[in-house]
Amino acid sequence: MELKASHFSDFLKPAQVVYNLKSKDKIQAIEELLDVLIKQKLIKNKKPILTRIIDRERLESTAIGHGVALPHARVDTGQDIAVVVGKSAKGIDFDSIDKKNVHIIILIVWNPSIPGLFNHLFAGLAQFLRNSGFRKRLFEAKNKTELFNVISEIRLSLPVQDDKIISRASLLWKLQEIEIQKRKAPKVKQKELQKKADLIRQELDVALLDRFDRLMERYGFAVAEVDDGACLGCFINVATGMGSAIEGSNDIYVCENCGKFLISKKKAHN
Ligand SMILES: [Zn+2]
């Protein structure tokens, strides 16, 4: 299937916007939003999708800062994509890295048959959220129609360097933890760990995973922490300025000496 849509509004109708979420916690809010998708006949079975989304949240919160969270799941729903947006005036604790409550939740369920959709959508969102004017209008929308209109302006776009709003280094780090656990886990635990690993693998591109798997096979680990400017994979200092770049961005960095993926110590132990 080819990606033809170019705007968020191609997937969004006013009925998929909840101006005033009733829920007070994260799981309730996700359920409330999924109920909207059921009502709109965009998804059929709530339970398995809810489980997938919560499993994904447990791996790493999808709160991306600025008071916005993007819970998501890749599920074969028959539809290309199902989007629902909810606003909470009071805010919801989403285990966000910045500890701030989330006021806008954009929940996305998409079909695995459309390659690239996830990245296009998220890149568009990232560009949109970077603009403080848009953010202001998003949070200050006075009613459902206004909120719908602002969100409809989001365009899908090709990801560029700064658009990685989901930290892929953290995902790789989590994947590594799971793969290491898998090595010594009893048989009964294997299936559960594999499920977690697959959840992460779905969000990373093939080239990255290929490199990850090769490093894991060769060294037993693929992602190394950077502490005090040194790669803990080889204990050689990383290039000047790289340490702070790793700290401050969601992009993927590789140690120029040992070739391992790098993650800041802070992000690794978040
Ligand atoms: Zn290294």
Return the pLDDT at 251: 73
Distance 254 CA to ligand 1 centre (A): 8
Higher pLDDT, 61 or 29: 29
Q: Compute the distance from residue 31 Cα to the ligand 1 centre, in Å.
A: 43
User: What is the separation of C-alpha 118 from the centre of its chain, rounded to a whole number of angstroms?
Assistant: 9
pLDDT at 80: 73
Contact of 233 with 264, CB cutoff 8 Å:
no
Tell me how far apart the alpha carbons of residues 130 and 226 are, in angstroms, rounded to a whole number: 27
Q: Residue 2: which pLDDT band, with cuts at 50, 70 and 90?
A: very low
Sheet with 230-231, edge to edge strand ranges: 230-231, 223-227, 261-264, 253-254
The beta strand positions in 93-139, using DSSP E, are 102-110
State the burial class of residue 161 (Cβ atoms within 10 Å of its Cβ: 0-12, 13-18, 19+). exposed
Encode pLDDT of 58-70 as tens digits. 887 888 878 999 9
What confidence category does residue 29 fall into, taking pLDDT thresholds of 50, 70 and 90? Answer: very high
Ligand 1 centroid from CA 225, angstroms: 9
Distance 137 CA to ligand 1 centre (A): 44
Ligand 1 centroid to Cα of residue 268, in Å, is 16
Mean pLDDT for the stretch of residues 233-261: 84
Higher pLDDT: 24 or 162? It is: 24
**CATH match of 168-268 with 3.60.20.10:** no
Distance (angstroms) between ligand 1 centre and the Cα of 212 equals: 14
User: Three-state SS for 133?
Assistant: helix
CATH of 8-163 given 3.30.160.270, 3.40.930.10, 3.30.1330.10, 3.40.50.300: 3.40.930.10
Query: How is the chain split into domains, by residue range?
Result: 8-163, 168-268
Per mean pLDDT, which of 118-127, 203-212, 239-248, 249-258 is the most reliable?
A: 203-212
Lowest mean pLDDT among 12-26, 58-72, 80-94, 136-150: 58-72
At 247 the pLDDT is 80
Query: Ligand 1 centre and the CA of 209: distance in Å?
Result: 18
On average, the pLDDT of the chain sits at 86
Whether the CB-CB separation of 246 and 222 falls below 8 Å is answered with no
The pLDDT of 20-40, averaged and rounded, is 96
**Rounded-to-integer distance, Cα 228 and Cα 110, Å:** 40
Cα 18 to Cα 51, 89, 114, 186, 254, distances in angstroms: 21, 11, 26, 44, 42
User: In this predicted structure, which of 38-47, 152-161, 194-203 has the lowest mean pLDDT?
Assistant: 152-161
Which of 147 and 118 is assigned the larger pLDDT? 147
Looking at the predicted structure, is the pLDDT value of residue 41 above 50? yes
Tell the burial category of 76 from Cβ atoms under 10 Å away from its Cβ (0-12, 13-18, 19+): exposed
For position 221, what pLDDT does the model report? 94
Residue bearing the bigger pLDDT, 1 or 165: 165
Give the global pTM.
Answer: 0.74
How many Å lie between the centroid of ligand 1 and the Cα of residue 257? 5
- Count the residues in the chain: 270
Selection from 203, 182, 11 nearest residue 116 by Cα: 203
Nearest in space to 112 (alpha carbons), one of 81, 91, 139 = 81
pLDDT at 1: 40
Distance of CA 101 from the midpoint of ligand 1 (Å): 37
pLDDT at 21: 96
For ligand 1, the distance from its centroid to the CA atom of residue 237, given in whole angstroms, is 8
| Tens-place pLDDT, residues 219-234 | 999 999 999 889 999 9
* Spacing, Cα 210 to ligand 1 middle (Å): 19
